[in-house]
Structure 1
Amino acid sequence: MKTIIKKYLKSIKKLFPIYGKKEKQYIKILQPRLLEYAAEKETLSYEDLIEEFGTPSHVISGYFSEVDDEYLFRHLKIRGYVKKFLIFVLVAFLAFNGYCYYWAYQDYLNAQDQHIMYKEIVIEED
């Protein structure tokens, strides 16, 4: 029975675009209600939870209708900044590695040109 509730809660958590304090509080409030409902039922299925509480997307839309818009937009904006920063760091890291590999390859080519691979000795008879 608990595995079904965990599965339902996990599917709800996946739909949150951000998962902060308020979202954790919402899950903590929802979990006892789910456990109460499960205690009342003899056999509980995922469909029973959907019938009683709604699909996970409906639960999330209900949460968003209750939450402060300013809070949501602020967290989404911060998430966007973090995502852009991480992409910038990744691109800079890849560019730096490409630059290092280019110079290492140039050093390799220079070393090949300077390294004597074979020596030809010509003996002439007088």
Structure 2
Amino acid sequence: MPRVLIADDVPAVRMIVRRSLIASGHTVVEALDGPAAYEIGVDGSIDLAIFDHLMPGIKGIDVLFKWREQGIQIPVMILSAVDDADTVVAALNGGAADYIRKPFDPAELIARVGRVLRVPPSSAPLAV
């Protein structure tokens, strides 16, 4: 059973994502902010991380960048209401496996999670 980290400071979002993931057979770990998400990834006990972009402490995209700088290749999906093109492109070029805009459809989220878990992570950021 894949272990998925959900890092979002909004309880309602975590609940929707958690219920969707559990219903589709995943084990869920939760973090309320960026520093907690960072530490969970450092211990290597997860298969995928889903980050909100704007979290307290450290932004989700910055946790992604710190992990990549340290060689941590856990796949990361950004789930955020921030939808400007520069942020989306920075996340994807910085190594995010996907970027999903809020509000989101839980069925689409689960389909994207399945796709990301089937694709081996790349060790290099995408170049444009």
TM-score for both structures, normalised by structure 1:
0.29
Return the structure number with greater strand share.
Answer: 2
Give the TM-score of the pair, scaled to structure 2. Answer: 0.29
Structure with greater proportional helix content: 1
